[in-house]
Amino acid sequence: MSEQQKDMVIVVRRSRRRKHGHHGGAWKVAYADFVTAMMAFFLVMWLLGIGSRQQRAAIAEYFKNPSMAQGTATMAPPGKIGPGGASDSMIKLGGAMDMPHGPGKDRRALRADAAEIEKLAREREKERLENLMQQLHAAIEKSQALEPFKDQLLLDITPEGLRIQIVDKQNRPMFDTGSATLEPYTVAILHELAGFIGQAPNKVSISGHTDDAPYSGVSHYSNWELSADRANAARRALLDGGLDETKIARVVGLAASVPFDKLNPGDPINRRISIIMMTKQAQDAAFSQEASAVTIAPNAPHAP
């Protein structure tokens, strides 16, 4: 080997593979958001699928007003319809350990929630009826047409709703003796009441009552027929006064079976017309009974 070859430097170049830069964690955040959104979506769909109408209403109410406690905030959050401002009470976040375990406990919890919702609904309806009664008292005091007869208008709250009773006085009967013809002032009373009753969403039940004196008129015509005819005459007067016909839920005659004065069944006060602005529960019960009767009737035996 020559001296020149010995002095030569051999350089070997090798290509290096370039490593990709670090991608970062942005994609993980986006994926976590997607998974959370999908989990929330399936949770909502599951709740809608297993819950009753009352429970779905309770869930909707919760998101409008998350806390049942009276709030102390100076400003209410947008869309809030509950009492007071936003609550400062803590929200329990114990997770699955706080939930009842087992299907039996779940059903009991759901029943308890439904019962609580129904109780709250009844309390709110009672408050609304009491407000209606106060408004009607004020309307009677202000009305020139009703003022002379306010001693014949009796208002109270019953399990069925707000009851308005128009009663007879000794020298001021609502109807002609033994007939279903309304006296002119009775018509005026019913026309005034029609405007007030029509402003509320409640359905109306009308019942007629008599004293215990036997009806002495046409044969086969008794206090039962008379009380029913008087209730129907009151219905017509309310409609003439502007009440919507769809507001009437029931018209019945009860004769002397439900006296106002139980100790004196012959007292004129027992001759009366009772108008009840029904609660939702009473209305649903009345309609469900009728629906049951319609369902059973086709299977009932026919008279020969």
Q: Phi and psi at residue 165, in whole multiples of 5°?
A: -115, 130
pLDDT single digits (tens) 67-105 = 555 454 444 444 444 444 444 444 444 444 444 545 555
Q: Which residue has the tokens 């215990």?
A: 212
Asked whether the predicted pLDDT for residue 204 surpasses 90, the reply is yes
Comparison of pLDDT for 15 and 83, the residue scoring more: 15
Q: How far apart are CA 299 and CA 304, in angstroms?
A: 15
Q: Which residues pair with 250 in a beta bridge?
A: 205
Q: Is the whole model's pTM more than 0.85, yes or no? A: no
Residue 80 confidence (pLDDT):
45
Which tens digit of pLDDT belongs to each residue from 47-60? Answer: 777 767 777 777 77
> Domain extents for the chain?
126-295
Class of domain 126-295: alpha beta
Q: Does residue 274 contact residue 206 with C-beta atoms inside 8 Å?
A: yes
Structure-block tokens of residue 103: 């299907």
Q: How does pLDDT run across 136-148, given as a tens digit for each residue?
A: 888 888 888 888 8
Distance CA 188, CA 183 (A): 9
Specify the length of the chain in residues: 304
- Predicted local confidence at residue 231, as pLDDT: 96
Distance CA 165, CA 155 (A): 7
Q: Which of 116-120, 181-185, 188-192, 207-211 has the lowest mean pLDDT?
A: 116-120
Q: How many Å apart are CA 249 and CA 202, to the nearest integer?
A: 10
Residue showing tokens 């329990």:
92
The beta-strand segments (E) located in the chain are: 153-158, 161-167, 204-209, 248-253, 272-278
Pick the range with the lowest mean pLDDT from 22-31, 97-106, 203-212.
97-106
Give backbone dihedrals phi and psi of 114, rounded to 5 degrees, phi first.
-65, -40
- Give dist(CA 152, CA 149) in Å, integer: 5
